[in-house]
């Protein structure tokens, strides 16, 4: 009992000194960050699961980009007995001179299978319940759409060739969950009007809602898997919400951010650990002199660390729950009805993970503690720094976190590669500058040569200090730079896009209409690139669903049809990044090129066989090349490209995407074009800008929060660095003053010391940022890395000044005590 009390007393005393406080704060921030991530994720997952139960509108949903033929529908109906068909398409609705993009849902006679529809007669009037969808010739529109178009119940609305009557305001659909976090304006019509309204728009999404018992579910599942490779099956029981993969990816991206934060935290902890270790070795040696076994001493040291971890957990939990409440409030904009449902088991698992990570960081210290010797109290002994232990366990810890959280291996790998190179550079610079400086100063007098001499004596500790500060500088600089450039890129992309109207999809017959309309209104078509809609269904004969288990953005995108383009030569806005592009007159049409990011994320290799489903038929292509976007020409580039000759073998309608430039006078005439072609996908620049601004605001909010965390941890590293070396500096200052040097001389020496430290750290940080920028910018964000020298210089100057200023303040503070106390410290 007395030992436990002693452990507690020691822990409280440790937490009262500056190293203890910095360590506690760092651990608390890291744990709180990961707990917030876990709790938020748990609530979102709970929300998604709850929604899946409540809002699927059926037991099973089959989703496909191609409409099922009569035989398949008959087969499905025979298997279940109850089937409702819906189709969704994005169209432009016009009323007088107003227009709005909306998601039109076409529903069959059986819709909805489960649940009810909620309607009203007008905006703000009483709600009514309906068991069926709209009748033929009627349209129900969402309240926002009604307000945007100025429509009331009873008004007429022309959609394509069909004239429809607004019969009700649509408030709720029982299968709303299938729309996920889509906040597009909505409208609903009867399925019988399909052809009149959509023409041959293959981008329509077809859904088949099925009511099925357990054996029927299994039978349908097997049948869909064998007969509809491009279809997705969503189950109410034991299934996954359509948004769950999206959320896992978001969570994993934040995971990468947490890996970097953890890296910084590890540096701060390593710095505070230096003095902790010296103190504990002394304490253990003393305990041994009382006859206490070394094992007891180490157990007590571990006990003290555990007490600190418990204190960390309590503080982090309080902080995390407060932040969790605030974040859930913010996220209700994305997930309406989301509630704060803390998942305590997940929180405990995260705490366990952080416990293991911190233990891995502390393990070298515990190993070193076992080397404590009573002899050190009798005569001075050299103490190993165990730098390799620290590095190995530190990297092990960061890797464990990366494995647990990151799914984007390319990004994680590149980030860690840049960090490791920067660290190696800083190490090399430190050793070279200090060694050369010492050589230069050997036959010289003065404070600068002395400063190099001292640095040489503390070379290993100095290297650790420089690497820590440099790493923080790197992460801080990179985060700030990325924030600035990403914001700038998004803004400039929105504003400098070719033309002011994006043509996101047009059919052959639309092209003619567009050309005519452009001629009439004085508009010009800037670019129009052809493609066919294709869905990747298998890689090397393995179905896409079975091919990869880890969540990935690329995989999620490939589950929907993509645009497959063709070209004989590499387009002028592309460059070859690997493999061999086909010859211009090639006869081998089954070749394909893709972007390097797709290759990495999907773990593709040249020679792999990619199977696509296009208009219900399968086509195989062999991966032979990879291409990447090159700026300077059109901004439209395709993920997948095949030889021009391949087009002759593919039976599918050609579609186009491109851009147009409209004069001011042409905009009012756009309503006319849409009225005639509602399925023509056009996005005005203004609308794009608004979307970008919304996204930009969200990105800015997330990156600002992240930058604040990085800044906070940088301060901890700086504080730990100053605090960890304070005792050494006090002794050095005391000795100098005892030899007749003035306060001013001590301050000058201190300035040299911190100046050298900060400068090497800054060079390392810039080099690391440059490497990370060159690697990551183009690969991950499609940006060309062009560092702004003025901005980088200013940031470095600020970093060096801050470090020197804090070092100066700490030195001035330590000089306030007497020489005797300085030496005795």
Binding site for other proteins (CB under 8 A): 1-3, 5-6, 13, 282-283, 286-293, 296, 373-375, 377-379, 824
| 64 vs 814 by CB, closer to other proteins | 814
Name which of 359 and 817 has its Cβ closer to other proteins.
817
Residue 252 is encoded by which pair of tokens?
């994993």
Cβ atoms < 10 Å from Cβ of 439:
11
Q: In the complex, what is the shortest distance from the CB of residue 726 to other proteins, in angstroms, rounded to a whole number? A: 15
If the CB atoms of residues 282 and 791 are measured against other proteins, the closer one turns out to be: 282
Smallest separation, CB 293 to other proteins (Å): 7
Q: Least distance from C-beta 435 to other proteins, angstroms?
A: 20
**Least gap, CB of 279 to other proteins (angstroms):** 9
Kindly calculate the radius of gyration of the chain based on its CA atoms and give it in whole angstroms: 33
Cβ burial of 196 (10 Å; 0-12, 13-18, 19+) is middle
Q: Closest separation between CB of residue 8 and other proteins, Å?
A: 12
Residue 250 to residues 405, 459, 710: CA-CA distances in angstroms?
Answer: 11, 42, 19
Q: Which residues contact 739 (CB under 8 A, 6 or more apart)?
A: none
The size of the chain, in residues, is 825
3-class SS of residue 241: coil
User: Considering the complex, what minimum distance in angstroms separates the CB of residue 822 from other proteins?
Assistant: 13
Nearer to other proteins, 805 or 824 (CB): 824
Specify whether the CB–CB gap between 164 and 156 falls below 8 A.
yes
Shortest gap between Cβ of 24 and other proteins (angstroms)? 17
Tell me the closest approach of the beta carbon of residue 289 to other proteins, in angstroms. Answer: 4
CB of 1 vs other proteins, minimal distance in Å: 8
**1/78 with CB nearer other proteins:** 1
- Determine contact, residues 99/105, Cβ cutoff 8 Å: no
We find the least distance from the C-beta atom of residue 303 to other proteins, in angstroms, to be 13
Q: Which is nearer to other proteins, 375 or 428 (CB)?
A: 375
Give me the phi and psi of 260, to 5 degrees please: -65, -40
Question: Which of left, alpha, beta for 202 (phi over 0: left; psi -120 to 50: alpha)?
Answer: alpha
List the one residue out of 254, 235, 693, 229 whose CA is nearest residue 491.
693
Q: In the 8-state DSSP scheme, what is residue 668?
A: G
> Is the four-CA dihedral 539, 541, 545, 551 of positive or negative sign?
negative
Nearer to other proteins, 70 or 295 (CB): 295
* Closer to other proteins by Cβ: residue 303 or 499: 303
108 in helix, strand or coil? coil
Closer residue to other proteins, CB minimum distance, 184 or 383? 383
Q: How many helices (H) and strands (E) does the chain have?
A: 23, 22
Minimum distance of other proteins from residue 605's CB (angstroms): 54
Closer CB to other proteins, residue 118 or residue 283?
283
- Nearer residue to other proteins within complex by CB, 276 or 754: 276
- Residue 818 beta carbon to other proteins: minimum distance, rounded to whole angstroms: 13
How many angstroms separate the CA atoms of 32 and 311, rounded? 12
CB distance 528 to 511 below 8 Å: yes
12 or 171: whose CB is closer to other proteins? Answer: 12
Angstrom CA distances, 158 to 161, 238, 679, stand at: 7, 42, 13
3-state secondary structure 396-448: HHHHHHHHHHCCCHHHHHHHHHHHHHHHHHHHHHHHHHHHHHHHHHCCCCCHH
Q: How far is the CB of 380 from other proteins (least distance, A)?
A: 11
Residue carrying the six token digits 């909620």: 118
Q: How many Cβ atoms from other residues are within 10 Å of residue 162's Cβ? A: 18
E-strand stretches of 509-554: 524-539, 542-543
**Burial class of residue 67, CB neighbours in 10 A (0-12, 13-18, 19+):** middle
Contacts of 430 (CB under 8 A, 6+ apart): 459, 462, 463, 466, 467, 760
By C-beta, is 3 or 812 nearer to other proteins? 3
């Amino acid at each position: 009992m007395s030992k436990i009390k002693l452990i507690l007393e020691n822990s409280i005393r440790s937490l009262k000194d500056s190293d203890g406080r910095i360590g506690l704060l760092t651990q608390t921030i890291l744990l709180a960050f990961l707990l917030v991530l876990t709790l938020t994720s748990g609530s979102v997952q709970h929300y998604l699961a709850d929604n899946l139960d409540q809002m699927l509108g059926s037991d099973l949903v089959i989703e496909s980009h191609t409409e099922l033929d009569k035989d398949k529908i008959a087969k499905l109906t025979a298997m279940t007995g109850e089937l409702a068909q819906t189709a969704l398409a994005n169209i432009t609705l016009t009323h007088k001179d107003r227009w709005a993009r909306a998601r039109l849902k076409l529903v069959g006679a059986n819709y909805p299978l489960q649940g009810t529809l909620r309607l009203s007669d007008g905006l703000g009037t009483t709600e009514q319940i309906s068991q069926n969808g709209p009748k033929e010739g009627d349209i129900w529109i969402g309240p926002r759409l009604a307000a945007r178009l100025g429509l009331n119940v009873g008004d007429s609305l022309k959609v394509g060739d069909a004239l429809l009557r607004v019969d009700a305001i649509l408030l709720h659909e029982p299968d709303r969950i299938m729309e996920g976090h889509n906040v597009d304006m909505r409208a609903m019509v009867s399925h019988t009007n399909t052809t009149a309204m959509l023409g041959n728009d293959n981008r329509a999404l077809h859904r088949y809602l099925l009511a099925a018992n357990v054996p029927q579910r299994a039978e349908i599942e097997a049948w869909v898997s064998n007969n509809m490779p491009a279809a997705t099956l969503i189950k109410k029981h034991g299934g996954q919400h359509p948004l769950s993969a999206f959320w896992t990816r978001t969570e994993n991206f934040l995971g990468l951010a947490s890996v970097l934060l953890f890296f910084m935290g590890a540096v701060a902890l390593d710095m505070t650990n230096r003095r902790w270790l010296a103190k504990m070795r002394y304490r253990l040696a003393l305990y041994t002199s009382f006859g206490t076994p070394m094992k007891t001493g180490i157990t007590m040291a571990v006990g003290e660390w555990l007490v600190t971890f418990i204190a960390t957990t309590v503080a982090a939990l309080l902080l995390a729950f407060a932040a969790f409440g605030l974040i859930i409030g913010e996220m209700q904009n994305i997930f309406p009805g989301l509630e704060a449902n803390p998942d305590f088991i997940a929180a405990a698992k995260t705490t366990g993970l952080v416990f293991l990570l911190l233990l891995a960081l502390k393990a070298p210290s515990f190993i070193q503690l076992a080397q404590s010797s009573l002899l050190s109290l009798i005569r001075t002994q050299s103490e190993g720094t165990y730098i390799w232990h620290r590095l190995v366990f530190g990297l092990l810890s960061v890797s464990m976190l990366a494995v647990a959280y990151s799914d984007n291996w390319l990004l994680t790998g590149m980030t860690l590669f840049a960090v490791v190179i920067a660290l190696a550079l800083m190490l090399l610079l430190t050793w070279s500058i200090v060694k050369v400086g010492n050589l230069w100063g050997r036959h010289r007098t003065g404070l600068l040569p002395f400063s190099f001499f001292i640095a040489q004596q503390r070379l290993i500790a100095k290297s650790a200090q420089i690497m820590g500060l440099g790493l923080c500088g790197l992460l801080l600089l990179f985060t700030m730079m990325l924030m600035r450039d990403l914001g700038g890129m998004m803004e400039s992309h929105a504003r400098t896009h070719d033309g002011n109207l994006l043509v996101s999809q047009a059919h052959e017959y639309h092209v003619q209409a567009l050309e005519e309309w452009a001629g009439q209104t004085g508009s010009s078509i800037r670019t129009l690139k052809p493609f066919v809609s294709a869905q990747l269904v298998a890689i090397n004969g393995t179905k896409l669903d079975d091919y990869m288990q880890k969540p990935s953005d690329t995989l999620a995108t490939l589950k929907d049809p993509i645009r497959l383009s063709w070209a004989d030569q590499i387009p002028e806005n592309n460059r070859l990044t690997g493999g061999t592009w086909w010859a211009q007159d090639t006869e081998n049409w089954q070749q394909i090129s893709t972007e390097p990011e797709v290759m990495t994320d999907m773990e593709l290799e040249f020679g792999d066989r990619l199977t696509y489903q296009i208009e219900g038929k399968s086509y195989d292509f062999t991966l032979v090349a990879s291409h990447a976007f090159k700026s300077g020409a059109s901004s439209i580039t395709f993920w997948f490209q095949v030889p021009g000759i391949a087009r002759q073998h593919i039976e599918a309608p050609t579609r186009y995407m491109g851009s147009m430039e409209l004069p001011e006078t042409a905009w009012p005439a756009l309503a006319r074009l849409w009225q005639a072609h509602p399925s023509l996908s056009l996005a005005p620049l203004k609308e794009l800008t608004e979307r970008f601004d919304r996204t930009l605001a969200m990105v800015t909010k997330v990156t600002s929060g992240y930058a604040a965390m990085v800044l906070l941890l940088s301060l901890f590293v700086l504080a730990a660095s100053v605090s960890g070396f304070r005792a050494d500096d006090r002794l050095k200052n005391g000795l100098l003053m005892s030899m007749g040097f003035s306060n001013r001389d001590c301050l000058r020496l201190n300035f040299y010391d911190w100046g050298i430290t900060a400068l090497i750290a800054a060079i390392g940080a810039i080099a690391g940022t440059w490497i990370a920028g060159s690697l990551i910018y183009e690969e991950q964000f499609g940006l060309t890395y062009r560092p702004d020298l003025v901005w980088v210089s200013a940031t470095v100057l600020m970093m060096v000044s801050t470090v020197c200023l804090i070092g100066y303040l700490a030195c001035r503070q330590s000089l306030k005590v007497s020489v005797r106390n300085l030496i005795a410290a």
